[in-house]
Amino acid sequence: MCGITGYIGYRDAYPIVINGLKRLEYRGYDSSGIMMYDGKAMNLSKTKGKVADLEFIVNNEEKRKAGKIGLGHTRWATHGVPNDTNSHPHFSEHGDLAIVHNGIIENYDTLKKELTRRGYTFKSDTDTEVLINLIQEVKKNNKCKLGKAVQIALTNVVGAYAIAVFDITKPNELVIAKLGSPIAIGVGKENSEFFVASDASPFIEYTKNAIYLEDEELAIVKVGKDIEVRKIMDDSMVDTNIQTLKMSLEQIEKGGYDHFMLKEIHEQPKAIIDTYRGRMLPDQGIIKMSGVDDHLAKFLNADRIIIIACGTSWHAGLVAEYLFEDMARIPVEVEYASEFRYRNPIVTSKDVVIAISQSGETADTLAAIKLAKSKGAFVFGVCNVVGSSIARETHAGSYTHAGPEIGVASTKAFTTQITVLSLIALKLAKEKGTLSTSAFQNYLRTLAHIPSQIEQLLKIDDTVKEIAAAYKDAKNCLYLGRGFNFPVALEGALKLKEISYIHAEGYPAAEMKHGPIALIDENMPIFVIATNKGHYEKVVSNIQEIKSRSGKIIAVVTEGDTQVKEIADHVIEIPETLEALTPLLTTIPFQLLSYHIAVMLNKNVDQPRNLAKSVTVE
């Protein structure tokens, strides 16, 4: 986690670095810091808290902003509590070198002991300060340039890193390296300037040309000179692959919404259209997905599909289990990536593994993919971030095309993941003949209707606000759903926990009687998905059981419902659709509800405590 950014060139670096940090705050936000080189000295400003707190400190002293070279960091603490001292950038003991780092140096303790033995002292508790002193020690002992020193030092490091390093004795260059954590280098016209960042958002208004370093690569950027990229381990030169970015500035700004989360909730109709555009072709009666088409035999001959993911993406995977088994009759297992990677799973070359990840950087998912590949499985990625580590590590894949998701609580990523997975399930069902042509066509027509139905649903905001006001002070909540909507219940509970810090549990509705029912009293709000298809009568019975124990019932029902309306305290209506597609609609009220509760409780919606958008540590 953590966001790093930097600049070297002809412009004032401060606005670029500080604004870049604001855009990267989704990656971590417990402390931040900036180093500005003013031509003579490196001026360091660091503080616990948000980037806004850092900006406040820097604004009080013009000197802290001066210079055409800067490095910035926004932190999600791993080694060392969030405080001013542990914030990055870190300097080497002699004060010549500065570093910003995203990742974990796992053998930092051994390295620190060795450096201590050689006389080094440390100000912070971080692994990063150990790394910069190791680089200094290598540079001194080998009498080499910064690039070489960083390279040699990194061969002694176990762990993950994306780093940018500056040397005051060579103030025309930055050294950047990557293993496991993402890093992009923005390239200005004729190499007149360079930008460094954890993703391309900090430099999108300055250049569309970017290089994404691969693992174990190191780049040396010098103003006015060609970029040099090398492999860290064998020192071989790498051809620089400059990509043209498609991201726009509007995509990463709030666009008039109070929070990114609300903007992203409202972007879902468009995001879903972007997801199926060019893939779902109802007129031709086909689904075209090159990632699947190119490997169709793998999918059709698979013994089973194993889905690996974390958090919300795992919930999308659970929806996919219902989709694949119901439509395409392929056995599916859904695994938490963090469990899968360590439990010696049975995986063979007859398995297809689908890895789902919005960020494409989640460490556990990445490790699970590597494990599955090592056992011979074909691994397919469903990612949002183009060019991300998971997108590159998988054999093939389909992007969700949701556009940047900045709010830490995932919203449009979830619905677009379900859209991609629905398309794959439908495609396989058609190929296998497990779905009739008319049913297949009906799915395509109905899916094409979902974006406008979400538009319609988003208008229920006032009803949701009333419900939010009524239950915002609840201490515990229960979310219930069955079948395709059981994962939506889990996702609803996760959304509430994440941003309002209210304890919430998701359960299959019928499981309630095996335990959670004991919790129900007149103070307990229970959110139940009771759409007219999928065990409706059974869910109604569950609702009756709640009613007789005085629980408060907030039900998500299909338009025109009368039965649940008579029993529930509140109802939210969703438009009619096919049962397998209901998660795309039932999830919307829960997103809005969590959002409004968090706002009413004055919580930081986009940056909830202790969380980060991409979890690049295990």
Mark 527-566 with x for binding to ligand AGP (rule: CB under 6 A) and - for no binding: ----------------------------------------
Torsion of CA 110, 111, 116, 122, to 10 degrees: -110
130 close to 122: Cβ distance less than 8 angstroms: yes
Comparison of 371 and 524: residue with beta carbon closer to ligand AGP: 371
Q: Is 432 assigned a catalytic role?
A: no
Give Rg (Cα) of the chain. Answer: 26
Q: Is 288 assigned a catalytic role?
A: no
The span of 118-126, 150-158, 318-326, 352-360 binding ligand AGP (CB under 6 A) equals 352-360
- C-alpha span between 30 and 167 (Å, rounded): 27
357 forms part of the interface with ligand AGP (CB under 6 A):
yes
- CA-wise closest residue to 261 among 610, 25, 607, 506: 607
CB of 594 to ligand AGP, least distance (A): 10
CB of 124 to ligand AGP, least distance (A): 27
Check residue 613 and report its DSSP letter. S
- CA-wise closest residue to 6 among 232, 249, 184: 184
CB of 410 to ligand AGP, least distance (A): 4
- C-alpha span between 438 and 1 (Å, rounded): 47
Identify the burial level of 144 via C-beta atoms within 10 angstroms of its C-beta, where 0-12 means exposed, 13-18 middle and 19 or more buried: middle
DSSP string for residues in 493-561: HHHHHHHH--EEEEEEGGGGGGTGGGG-STT-EEEEEE-SSSSHHHHHHHHHHHHTTT-EEEEEEETT-
Among 498, 505, 561, 573, binds ligand AGP (CB under 6 A): 498
CB atoms under 10 Å from CB of 81, counted, come to 11
Comparison of 337 and 520: residue with beta carbon closer to ligand AGP: 337
Q: Tokens 């229960």 — which residue?
A: 478
Which residue minimizes CB distance to ligand AGP? 311
The span of 40-48, 250-258, 353-361, 443-451 binding ligand AGP (CB under 6 A) equals 353-361
Comparison of 19 and 357: residue with beta carbon closer to ligand AGP: 357
- CA-wise closest residue to 488 among 498, 479, 476: 479
Angle at which helix 583-600 crosses helix 486-500, to 10 degrees, equals 20
Torsion of CA 131, 133, 134, 140, to 10 degrees: 150
Angle at which helix 311-323 crosses helix 412-432, to 10 degrees, equals 30
Candidates 2, 310, 383, 477; catalytic one: 2
Among 66, 154, 218, 310, binds ligand AGP (CB under 6 A): 310
Mark 403-422 with x for binding to ligand AGP (rule: CB under 6 A) and - for no binding: -----xxx------------
Comparison of 388 and 582: residue with beta carbon closer to ligand AGP: 388
- CA-wise closest residue to 242 among 271, 258, 261, 219: 219
Among 8, 152, 332, 615, binds ligand AGP (CB under 6 A): 615
Among 43, 358, 577, 591, binds ligand AGP (CB under 6 A): 358
Query: If DSSP codes are grouped into helix, strand and coil, which group holds residue 163?
Result: strand
* 3-class SS string, 294-330: CCHHHHHCCCEEEEEECHHHHHHHHHHHHHHHHHHCC
CB of 19 to ligand AGP, least distance (A): 24
Identify the burial level of 203 via C-beta atoms within 10 angstroms of its C-beta, where 0-12 means exposed, 13-18 middle and 19 or more buried: buried
Q: Which two tokens stand for residue 113?
A: 């002991």
Comparison of 251 and 563: residue with beta carbon closer to ligand AGP: 251
- C-alpha span between 285 and 5 (Å, rounded): 47
Total number of residues binding ligand AGP (CB under 6 A)? 16
Among 92, 198, 365, 394, binds ligand AGP (CB under 6 A): 365
Comparison of 417 and 542: residue with beta carbon closer to ligand AGP: 417
The span of 103-111, 158-166, 308-316, 395-403 binding ligand AGP (CB under 6 A) equals 308-316
Q: Tokens 């408060």 — which residue?
A: 552
CB of 55 to ligand AGP, least distance (A): 25
338 forms part of the interface with ligand AGP (CB under 6 A):
no
Comparison of 4 and 391: residue with beta carbon closer to ligand AGP: 391
Comparison of 313 and 558: residue with beta carbon closer to ligand AGP: 313
CB of 488 to ligand AGP, least distance (A): 14
313 forms part of the interface with ligand AGP (CB under 6 A):
yes
594 forms part of the interface with ligand AGP (CB under 6 A):
no
87 forms part of the interface with ligand AGP (CB under 6 A):
no
The span of 27-35, 256-264, 523-531, 610-618 binding ligand AGP (CB under 6 A) equals 610-618
Q: Which residues are tagged catalytic?
A: 2, 613
Give the residues lining the site for ligand AGP (CB under 6 A).
310-313, 357-359, 362, 365, 408-410, 498, 611, 614-615
